[in-house]
Amino acid sequence: GLNPAQQDAEGLTPMHWARKHNHYLCQRYLERGYKAVPDKKFGTLASLTKEWFYPATVATSIGYLLGGYFLITRYVPAVFAYSLMGSFGAKGLGINAMVGTPIRNSIPEPSLAESLGMPKNAEEAFRGTDFMNYRDPGIVVVWLGALLVQCVAMHVAGAEPSQLYMAATATLLLAFTVSKTSAFDGFVAKQSVEDDPILKAVERKEFDDCRWTRIYRTAHHIRVPLRAFHSKELDTVIHEYDGWSLLLDAPVSRANRRSYLVMLMAWLVQQVALFFSAWKFLSAKHCDPAQEFSLMRTAFNLFVSNTPCRVKFPDDSYLHYVVPQPDNQLGFWALAMAFVLGCGAFMYLYREFQALVHGCSTLELVHQTMPSTDGGLTSIFRNGRCVFSQGNGFRNIAAFFAGTLGQQWRGASAIPPPQKGGNCVPKAAAGGCGCSH
Protein backbone atom coordinates (compact mmCIF):
# COMPACT_ATOMS: atom_id res chain seq x y z
CA GLY A 1 0.00 0.00 0.00
CA LEU A 2 3.01 2.33 -0.09
CA ASN A 3 2.74 5.31 -2.46
CA PRO A 4 6.32 6.34 -3.24
CA ALA A 5 5.17 9.53 -4.99
CA GLN A 6 3.13 10.98 -2.09
CA GLN A 7 4.78 13.90 -0.25
CA ASP A 8 4.52 14.80 3.40
CA ALA A 9 4.31 18.24 5.03
CA GLU A 10 8.01 18.84 4.36
CA GLY A 11 7.64 17.93 0.70
CA LEU A 12 9.50 14.62 1.05
CA THR A 13 8.41 11.34 -0.44
CA PRO A 14 8.87 8.19 1.69
CA MET A 15 11.98 7.25 -0.24
CA HIS A 16 13.54 10.72 0.06
CA TRP A 17 12.71 10.81 3.78
CA ALA A 18 14.39 7.42 4.27
CA ARG A 19 17.49 8.59 2.42
CA LYS A 20 17.67 11.87 4.36
CA HIS A 21 17.53 10.10 7.71
CA ASN A 22 19.78 7.24 6.57
CA HIS A 23 17.02 4.66 7.06
CA TYR A 24 16.13 1.57 5.10
CA LEU A 25 12.61 1.37 3.74
CA CYS A 26 11.13 -1.91 2.55
CA GLN A 27 8.83 -1.13 -0.37
CA ARG A 28 7.60 -4.66 -1.04
CA TYR A 29 8.48 -8.24 -0.24
CA LEU A 30 9.85 -10.67 -2.76
CA GLU A 31 7.31 -13.02 -4.25
CA ARG A 32 9.11 -16.06 -2.86
CA GLY A 33 8.93 -14.60 0.62
CA TYR A 34 11.61 -13.77 3.13
CA LYS A 35 12.78 -15.83 6.07
CA ALA A 36 15.39 -15.00 8.64
CA VAL A 37 17.93 -17.63 9.62
CA PRO A 38 16.37 -18.26 13.07
CA ASP A 39 13.20 -19.31 11.25
CA LYS A 40 15.21 -21.71 9.09
CA LYS A 41 17.12 -23.36 11.93
CA PHE A 42 14.83 -26.35 12.25
CA GLY A 43 15.81 -29.96 12.07
CA THR A 44 14.03 -33.00 10.74
CA LEU A 45 11.47 -33.36 13.54
CA ALA A 46 10.54 -29.67 13.67
CA SER A 47 10.26 -29.50 9.89
CA LEU A 48 7.44 -32.05 9.93
CA THR A 49 5.09 -29.22 10.92
CA LYS A 50 6.52 -26.68 8.47
CA GLU A 51 6.68 -28.47 5.12
CA TRP A 52 3.88 -30.61 3.68
CA PHE A 53 6.39 -32.80 1.85
CA TYR A 54 8.20 -33.85 5.04
CA PRO A 55 5.46 -35.89 6.76
CA ALA A 56 4.47 -37.40 3.40
CA THR A 57 8.06 -38.52 2.76
CA VAL A 58 8.49 -39.91 6.28
CA ALA A 59 5.21 -41.84 6.11
CA THR A 60 6.15 -43.23 2.69
CA SER A 61 9.59 -44.29 3.97
CA ILE A 62 8.10 -46.11 6.97
CA GLY A 63 5.64 -47.90 4.70
CA TYR A 64 8.51 -48.73 2.35
CA LEU A 65 10.46 -50.48 5.13
CA LEU A 66 7.45 -52.31 6.58
CA GLY A 67 6.30 -53.44 3.17
CA GLY A 68 9.81 -54.53 2.26
CA TYR A 69 10.22 -56.65 5.38
CA PHE A 70 6.74 -58.20 5.71
CA LEU A 71 5.90 -58.59 2.02
CA ILE A 72 8.81 -58.45 -0.42
CA THR A 73 11.53 -60.32 1.47
CA ARG A 74 9.07 -62.80 3.03
CA TYR A 75 6.73 -63.80 0.20
CA VAL A 76 8.57 -62.81 -2.98
CA PRO A 77 11.28 -65.08 -4.44
CA ALA A 78 14.66 -64.15 -3.05
CA VAL A 79 16.11 -63.13 -6.40
CA PHE A 80 13.39 -60.47 -6.77
CA ALA A 81 14.07 -58.99 -3.32
CA TYR A 82 16.69 -56.72 -4.86
CA SER A 83 13.82 -54.72 -6.36
CA LEU A 84 13.43 -53.26 -2.86
CA MET A 85 16.73 -51.41 -3.22
CA GLY A 86 16.16 -50.56 -6.86
CA SER A 87 12.74 -49.05 -6.23
CA PHE A 88 14.11 -46.74 -3.56
CA GLY A 89 16.93 -45.64 -5.81
CA ALA A 90 14.42 -44.73 -8.52
CA LYS A 91 12.07 -42.79 -6.26
CA GLY A 92 12.85 -39.65 -8.24
CA LEU A 93 10.71 -41.10 -11.04
CA GLY A 94 7.73 -41.31 -8.72
CA ILE A 95 8.25 -37.82 -7.34
CA ASN A 96 8.42 -36.27 -10.79
CA ALA A 97 5.37 -38.24 -11.90
CA MET A 98 3.34 -36.85 -8.98
CA VAL A 99 4.46 -33.22 -8.85
CA GLY A 100 6.27 -32.64 -12.14
CA THR A 101 9.66 -31.07 -12.79
CA PRO A 102 10.32 -27.88 -10.76
CA ILE A 103 10.61 -24.61 -12.68
CA ARG A 104 14.23 -23.45 -12.69
CA ASN A 105 15.20 -19.91 -13.63
CA SER A 106 18.35 -19.13 -15.65
CA ILE A 107 19.00 -22.85 -16.16
CA PRO A 108 18.70 -24.64 -19.53
CA GLU A 109 15.63 -26.75 -20.12
CA PRO A 110 16.02 -30.25 -18.65
CA SER A 111 16.64 -33.17 -20.94
CA LEU A 112 14.09 -35.94 -21.43
CA ALA A 113 15.84 -38.12 -18.83
CA GLU A 114 15.91 -35.26 -16.30
CA SER A 115 12.26 -34.40 -16.91
CA LEU A 116 11.33 -38.02 -16.18
CA GLY A 117 13.30 -37.92 -12.94
CA MET A 118 16.09 -40.27 -14.00
CA PRO A 119 19.15 -39.70 -11.79
CA LYS A 120 22.56 -38.81 -13.18
CA ASN A 121 24.48 -40.44 -10.32
CA ALA A 122 23.99 -42.52 -7.19
CA GLU A 123 23.57 -39.53 -4.88
CA GLU A 124 20.90 -37.99 -7.08
CA ALA A 125 19.10 -41.32 -7.22
CA PHE A 126 18.54 -41.27 -3.46
CA ARG A 127 18.17 -37.52 -3.10
CA GLY A 128 15.78 -36.85 -5.97
CA THR A 129 16.38 -34.59 -8.94
CA ASP A 130 16.40 -30.91 -8.04
CA PHE A 131 13.50 -31.17 -5.61
CA MET A 132 12.78 -29.71 -2.18
CA ASN A 133 16.14 -27.94 -2.22
CA TYR A 134 17.94 -31.25 -1.60
CA ARG A 135 16.32 -31.82 1.80
CA ASP A 136 14.75 -35.24 2.17
CA PRO A 137 14.06 -36.66 5.66
CA GLY A 138 12.93 -39.93 4.13
CA ILE A 139 16.54 -40.99 3.64
CA VAL A 140 17.24 -40.58 7.38
CA VAL A 141 14.20 -42.70 8.21
CA VAL A 142 15.12 -45.40 5.70
CA TRP A 143 18.77 -45.87 6.63
CA LEU A 144 18.12 -45.81 10.39
CA GLY A 145 15.09 -48.04 9.94
CA ALA A 146 17.16 -50.47 7.87
CA LEU A 147 19.52 -50.90 10.82
CA LEU A 148 16.55 -51.78 13.04
CA VAL A 149 15.16 -54.23 10.47
CA GLN A 150 18.57 -55.91 10.29
CA CYS A 151 18.46 -56.49 14.06
CA VAL A 152 14.92 -57.88 13.80
CA ALA A 153 15.95 -60.23 10.98
CA MET A 154 18.87 -61.52 13.05
CA HIS A 155 16.61 -62.12 16.06
CA VAL A 156 13.91 -63.90 14.04
CA ALA A 157 16.46 -66.22 12.42
CA GLY A 158 18.06 -66.98 15.79
CA ALA A 159 21.47 -65.55 14.93
CA GLU A 160 23.61 -63.97 17.62
CA PRO A 161 25.31 -60.69 16.66
CA SER A 162 28.94 -60.29 17.62
CA GLN A 163 30.24 -58.02 20.36
CA LEU A 164 31.92 -55.88 17.72
CA TYR A 165 28.55 -55.32 16.05
CA MET A 166 26.94 -54.24 19.34
CA ALA A 167 29.79 -51.84 20.17
CA ALA A 168 29.75 -50.35 16.66
CA THR A 169 25.96 -49.87 16.83
CA ALA A 170 26.19 -48.02 20.14
CA THR A 171 28.98 -45.80 18.79
CA LEU A 172 27.00 -45.17 15.61
CA LEU A 173 23.86 -44.03 17.44
CA LEU A 174 25.84 -41.83 19.83
CA ALA A 175 27.82 -40.17 17.03
CA PHE A 176 24.62 -39.68 15.01
CA THR A 177 22.96 -37.93 17.94
CA VAL A 178 25.94 -35.64 18.52
CA SER A 179 26.24 -34.82 14.81
CA LYS A 180 22.55 -34.08 14.50
CA THR A 181 22.22 -31.90 17.59
CA SER A 182 25.35 -29.83 16.89
CA ALA A 183 24.79 -29.41 13.15
CA PHE A 184 23.26 -25.93 13.48
CA ASP A 185 26.00 -24.43 15.68
CA GLY A 186 28.24 -23.22 12.86
CA PHE A 187 26.09 -20.45 11.37
CA VAL A 188 27.80 -17.16 10.49
CA ALA A 189 25.10 -14.81 9.21
CA LYS A 190 22.32 -13.73 11.54
CA GLN A 191 19.94 -13.01 8.69
CA SER A 192 19.13 -14.38 5.27
CA VAL A 193 21.76 -13.88 2.58
CA GLU A 194 19.14 -13.68 -0.14
CA ASP A 195 18.76 -10.31 -1.84
CA ASP A 196 16.89 -8.09 0.56
CA PRO A 197 13.69 -6.49 -0.80
CA ILE A 198 15.34 -3.10 -0.21
CA LEU A 199 17.30 -3.60 -3.44
CA LYS A 200 14.09 -3.29 -5.44
CA ALA A 201 13.31 0.03 -3.78
CA VAL A 202 16.59 1.79 -4.61
CA GLU A 203 17.07 0.68 -8.21
CA ARG A 204 15.61 3.96 -9.48
CA LYS A 205 17.14 6.82 -11.41
CA GLU A 206 16.15 9.45 -8.85
CA PHE A 207 18.43 7.68 -6.38
CA ASP A 208 21.53 7.83 -8.60
CA ASP A 209 21.25 4.26 -9.87
CA CYS A 210 21.58 2.59 -6.50
CA ARG A 211 24.75 4.27 -5.29
CA TRP A 212 24.01 3.51 -1.66
CA THR A 213 26.99 1.26 -1.13
CA ARG A 214 25.89 0.33 2.39
CA ILE A 215 22.94 -1.55 0.94
CA TYR A 216 24.34 -3.77 -1.75
CA ARG A 217 27.87 -4.30 -0.43
CA THR A 218 27.52 -7.17 1.95
CA ALA A 219 30.97 -6.51 3.43
CA HIS A 220 29.40 -3.57 5.25
CA HIS A 221 26.76 -5.83 6.79
CA ILE A 222 28.35 -9.15 7.73
CA ARG A 223 31.87 -10.38 8.14
CA VAL A 224 32.37 -13.64 6.29
CA PRO A 225 35.11 -15.94 7.63
CA LEU A 226 37.63 -17.16 5.11
CA ARG A 227 36.66 -20.84 5.21
CA ALA A 228 32.90 -20.28 5.22
CA PHE A 229 30.52 -21.27 2.45
CA HIS A 230 26.90 -20.68 1.61
CA SER A 231 24.39 -23.48 2.18
CA LYS A 232 21.56 -23.26 -0.33
CA GLU A 233 19.49 -25.69 1.72
CA LEU A 234 19.29 -23.25 4.65
CA ASP A 235 20.22 -20.03 2.82
CA THR A 236 22.95 -19.06 5.24
CA VAL A 237 26.74 -19.02 5.58
CA ILE A 238 28.32 -21.77 7.70
CA HIS A 239 31.82 -22.09 9.16
CA GLU A 240 33.87 -24.60 7.11
CA TYR A 241 30.72 -25.88 5.42
CA ASP A 242 31.42 -29.36 4.05
CA GLY A 243 28.16 -30.07 2.28
CA TRP A 244 24.66 -31.24 3.10
CA SER A 245 24.49 -34.74 4.55
CA LEU A 246 21.66 -36.95 3.33
CA LEU A 247 22.28 -39.25 6.30
CA LEU A 248 21.70 -36.44 8.81
CA ASP A 249 19.34 -34.15 6.90
CA ALA A 250 21.61 -31.46 8.28
CA PRO A 251 24.78 -29.57 7.28
CA VAL A 252 28.26 -30.93 7.96
CA SER A 253 30.62 -28.20 9.09
CA ARG A 254 33.28 -27.39 11.64
CA ALA A 255 30.74 -27.89 14.42
CA ASN A 256 30.00 -31.56 13.74
CA ARG A 257 32.48 -32.88 11.19
CA ARG A 258 34.50 -34.95 13.68
CA SER A 259 31.45 -36.70 15.10
CA TYR A 260 30.18 -37.21 11.55
CA LEU A 261 33.37 -39.06 10.57
CA VAL A 262 33.14 -41.18 13.72
CA MET A 263 29.57 -42.03 12.73
CA LEU A 264 30.68 -43.11 9.25
CA MET A 265 33.50 -45.27 10.62
CA ALA A 266 31.17 -46.92 13.14
CA TRP A 267 28.63 -47.50 10.37
CA LEU A 268 31.23 -49.25 8.20
CA VAL A 269 32.47 -51.43 11.08
CA GLN A 270 28.89 -52.30 12.03
CA GLN A 271 27.95 -53.49 8.54
CA VAL A 272 31.17 -55.49 8.15
CA ALA A 273 30.62 -57.17 11.53
CA LEU A 274 27.00 -57.93 10.65
CA PHE A 275 27.98 -59.39 7.28
CA PHE A 276 30.49 -61.83 8.76
CA SER A 277 28.17 -62.77 11.66
CA ALA A 278 25.36 -63.64 9.25
CA TRP A 279 27.78 -65.41 6.90
CA LYS A 280 29.09 -67.58 9.74
CA PHE A 281 25.57 -68.41 10.95
CA LEU A 282 24.16 -69.29 7.52
CA SER A 283 27.26 -71.22 6.44
CA ALA A 284 27.18 -73.40 9.54
CA LYS A 285 23.48 -74.09 8.99
CA HIS A 286 23.29 -74.81 5.26
CA CYS A 287 26.79 -75.43 3.87
CA ASP A 288 28.42 -78.84 3.72
CA PRO A 289 31.85 -78.68 5.42
CA ALA A 290 33.13 -81.46 3.15
CA GLN A 291 32.22 -79.58 0.00
CA GLU A 292 35.03 -77.64 -1.61
CA PHE A 293 34.55 -73.88 -1.69
CA SER A 294 33.68 -72.46 -5.09
CA LEU A 295 33.61 -68.73 -5.72
CA MET A 296 31.23 -68.97 -8.68
CA ARG A 297 28.79 -71.24 -6.81
CA THR A 298 28.84 -69.03 -3.73
CA ALA A 299 28.29 -65.88 -5.80
CA PHE A 300 25.37 -67.56 -7.60
CA ASN A 301 23.78 -68.60 -4.30
CA LEU A 302 24.22 -65.13 -2.85
CA PHE A 303 22.58 -63.54 -5.86
CA VAL A 304 19.72 -66.01 -6.29
CA SER A 305 18.91 -67.09 -2.72
CA ASN A 306 20.74 -64.44 -0.63
CA THR A 307 22.57 -67.18 1.29
CA PRO A 308 26.11 -68.63 0.99
CA CYS A 309 24.57 -72.03 0.24
CA ARG A 310 21.09 -72.81 -1.05
CA VAL A 311 18.40 -73.61 1.50
CA LYS A 312 17.68 -77.34 1.10
CA PHE A 313 14.15 -78.69 0.86
CA PRO A 314 13.13 -82.24 1.91
CA ASP A 315 12.49 -83.33 -1.67
CA ASP A 316 15.60 -81.54 -2.95
CA SER A 317 13.46 -79.59 -5.42
CA TYR A 318 14.02 -76.11 -6.78
CA LEU A 319 11.41 -74.54 -4.49
CA HIS A 320 14.21 -72.75 -2.64
CA TYR A 321 14.43 -70.46 -5.68
CA VAL A 322 10.69 -69.65 -5.48
CA VAL A 323 9.50 -69.87 -1.87
CA PRO A 324 11.62 -67.71 0.46
CA GLN A 325 12.49 -68.97 3.92
CA PRO A 326 13.43 -67.00 7.07
CA ASP A 327 17.08 -67.65 6.30
CA ASN A 328 16.61 -66.11 2.84
CA GLN A 329 15.16 -63.04 4.51
CA LEU A 330 18.11 -62.88 6.90
CA GLY A 331 20.49 -63.26 3.97
CA PHE A 332 18.95 -60.28 2.19
CA TRP A 333 19.07 -57.89 5.16
CA ALA A 334 22.32 -59.11 6.75
CA LEU A 335 24.31 -60.01 3.63
CA ALA A 336 23.01 -58.17 0.56
CA MET A 337 21.83 -55.05 2.39
CA ALA A 338 24.91 -54.99 4.64
CA PHE A 339 27.12 -55.17 1.57
CA VAL A 340 25.33 -52.23 -0.09
CA LEU A 341 25.29 -50.09 3.07
CA GLY A 342 28.92 -50.94 3.80
CA CYS A 343 29.93 -49.85 0.30
CA GLY A 344 28.05 -46.61 0.81
CA ALA A 345 29.79 -45.94 4.12
CA PHE A 346 33.17 -46.73 2.54
CA MET A 347 32.58 -44.27 -0.32
CA TYR A 348 31.58 -41.54 2.14
CA LEU A 349 34.68 -42.23 4.24
CA TYR A 350 36.99 -42.32 1.24
CA ARG A 351 35.80 -38.89 0.13
CA GLU A 352 36.20 -37.41 3.62
CA PHE A 353 39.66 -38.85 4.26
CA GLN A 354 40.81 -37.84 0.80
CA ALA A 355 40.12 -34.24 1.80
CA LEU A 356 41.63 -34.70 5.27
CA VAL A 357 44.90 -35.94 3.82
CA HIS A 358 45.19 -32.61 1.98
CA GLY A 359 44.19 -30.68 5.11
CA CYS A 360 40.96 -29.24 3.70
CA SER A 361 37.27 -30.02 3.45
CA THR A 362 35.62 -31.89 0.61
CA LEU A 363 34.03 -28.66 -0.60
CA GLU A 364 37.42 -26.95 -0.68
CA LEU A 365 38.86 -29.95 -2.49
CA VAL A 366 36.32 -29.36 -5.27
CA HIS A 367 36.46 -25.54 -5.28
CA GLN A 368 40.18 -24.90 -4.85
CA THR A 369 40.05 -21.10 -4.68
CA MET A 370 39.94 -18.31 -2.11
CA PRO A 371 39.77 -14.48 -2.25
CA SER A 372 43.07 -12.75 -3.01
CA THR A 373 44.42 -9.30 -2.18
CA ASP A 374 43.45 -7.88 -5.58
CA GLY A 375 39.80 -8.85 -5.17
CA GLY A 376 39.99 -11.91 -7.41
CA LEU A 377 40.44 -15.60 -6.68
CA THR A 378 43.61 -17.55 -6.11
CA SER A 379 44.25 -21.26 -5.68
CA ILE A 380 44.54 -22.70 -2.18
CA PHE A 381 46.90 -25.41 -3.43
CA ARG A 382 50.59 -24.70 -3.88
CA ASN A 383 52.73 -27.44 -5.44
CA GLY A 384 49.99 -29.97 -4.77
CA ARG A 385 49.70 -29.01 -1.10
CA CYS A 386 46.82 -27.11 0.51
CA VAL A 387 47.68 -23.88 2.33
CA PHE A 388 45.56 -25.06 5.29
CA SER A 389 47.65 -28.23 5.64
CA GLN A 390 49.88 -28.77 8.66
CA GLY A 391 52.16 -31.41 7.17
CA ASN A 392 51.73 -34.82 5.64
CA GLY A 393 48.49 -36.75 5.53
CA PHE A 394 48.96 -38.49 8.89
CA ARG A 395 49.63 -35.19 10.66
CA ASN A 396 46.57 -33.61 9.06
CA ILE A 397 44.32 -36.48 10.15
CA ALA A 398 45.74 -36.44 13.68
CA ALA A 399 45.37 -32.65 13.89
CA PHE A 400 41.79 -32.88 12.66
CA PHE A 401 40.69 -35.31 15.36
CA ALA A 402 42.64 -33.26 17.93
CA GLY A 403 40.75 -30.15 16.82
CA THR A 404 43.86 -28.18 15.79
CA LEU A 405 43.72 -28.48 11.99
CA GLY A 406 43.66 -25.04 10.37
CA GLN A 407 43.80 -23.14 13.68
CA GLN A 408 46.23 -20.60 12.21
CA TRP A 409 43.50 -19.46 9.80
CA ARG A 410 40.83 -18.82 12.44
CA GLY A 411 39.70 -15.19 12.37
CA ALA A 412 40.71 -14.50 8.75
CA SER A 413 37.93 -12.98 6.64
CA ALA A 414 37.06 -13.62 3.03
CA ILE A 415 35.30 -10.22 2.77
CA PRO A 416 37.13 -7.92 5.20
CA PRO A 417 35.31 -5.08 6.93
CA PRO A 418 36.44 -1.48 6.27
CA GLN A 419 39.47 -0.55 8.37
CA LYS A 420 41.37 2.63 8.85
CA GLY A 421 44.46 2.62 6.69
CA GLY A 422 43.34 -0.24 4.48
CA ASN A 423 41.65 -3.60 4.44
CA CYS A 424 43.43 -6.66 5.80
CA VAL A 425 42.84 -9.55 3.45
CA PRO A 426 44.47 -12.98 3.48
CA LYS A 427 47.32 -13.90 1.19
CA ALA A 428 47.01 -17.52 0.21
CA ALA A 429 50.54 -17.80 -1.10
CA ALA A 430 52.15 -16.43 2.02
CA GLY A 431 49.78 -18.13 4.45
CA GLY A 432 49.07 -14.89 6.30
CA CYS A 433 47.45 -11.50 5.88
CA GLY A 434 48.45 -8.43 3.96
CA CYS A 435 47.05 -4.92 3.79
CA SER A 436 45.34 -3.56 0.70
CA HIS A 437 45.11 0.25 0.58
Q: What is the mean pLDDT of the chain?
A: 74
Of 356, 385, 406, which one is at a domain's C-terminal end?
A: 356
Answer yes or no: is 373 within a domain. Answer: no
Q: Which class for 268: exposed (0-12), middle (13-18), buried (19 or more C-beta within 10 A)?
A: buried
Answer yes or no: is 288 within a domain. Answer: yes
Residues 168 and 301 occupy one common structural domain: yes
Residues 7 and 82 occupy one common structural domain: no
pLDDT in tens, 63-91: 888 888 888 888 888 878 888 877 766 66
Give residue 437's pLDDT. 31
Residues 316 and 176 occupy one common structural domain: yes
Give residue 395's pLDDT. 87
Give residue 245's pLDDT. 86
Answer yes or no: is 154 within a domain. Answer: yes
Give residue 426's pLDDT. 39
Share of the chain above pLDDT 70, in %: 63
pLDDT of residue 316 exceeding 50 = yes
pLDDT of residue 134 exceeding 60 = no
pLDDT of residue 416 exceeding 80 = no
Reported as a pLDDT band with limits 50, 70 and 90, residue 277 is very high
| Comparison of pLDDT for 369 and 30, the residue scoring more | 369
- The pTM for the full model equals 0.73
**Range scoring the smallest mean pLDDT among 106-120, 206-220, 253-267, 400-414:** 206-220
Other C-beta atoms lying within 10 Å of the C-beta of residue 213? 9
User: Which residue, among 368, 150, 183, has the nearest Cα to 258 in the 3D structure?
Assistant: 183
Range of the domain at 10: 1-37
What value does the mean pLDDT take over residues 390-397?
Answer: 84
Answer yes or no: is 172 within a domain. Answer: yes
Residues 155 and 263 occupy one common structural domain: yes
Do residues 153 and 282 touch, judged by C-beta distance below 8 A? Answer: no
Answer yes or no: is 378 within a domain. Answer: no
Give residue 29's pLDDT. 42
| Comparison of pLDDT for 170 and 399, the residue scoring more | 170
HSE, CB side, 13 Å, CA atoms: give it for residue 138. Answer: 25
What value does the mean pLDDT take over residues 338-367?
Answer: 87
Residues 181 and 283 occupy one common structural domain: yes
What value does the mean pLDDT take over residues 156-167?
Answer: 90
pLDDT in tens, 9-47: 778 777 777 666 655 544 444 444 445 555 555 677 777
pLDDT of residue 282 exceeding 70 = yes
Rounded alpha-carbon distances, angstroms, from residue 231 to 35, 135, 181, 354: 14, 12, 18, 22
Residues 52 and 4 occupy one common structural domain: no
Residues 78 and 10 occupy one common structural domain: no
Reported as a pLDDT band with limits 50, 70 and 90, residue 219 is very low
Backbone dihedral region of 406: left (phi > 0), alpha (psi from -120 to 50 degrees) or beta?
left
HSE, CB side, 13 Å, CA atoms: give it for residue 326. Answer: 10
Residues 262 and 134 occupy one common structural domain: yes
What is d(CA 101, CA 117) in angstroms, rounded to the nearest whole number? 8
What is d(CA 196, CA 6) in angstroms, rounded to the nearest whole number? 24
Q: How many domains would you assign to the chain?
A: 2
Residues 14 and 143 occupy one common structural domain: no
Answer yes or no: is 197 within a domain. Answer: no
Rounded alpha-carbon distances, angstroms, from residue 403 to 88, 239, 365, 396: 37, 14, 19, 10
What is d(CA 380, CA 387) in angstroms, rounded to the nearest whole number? 6
Of 336, 356, 376, which one is at a domain's C-terminal end?
A: 356
CA torsion through residues 78, 79, 80, 83, sign: positive
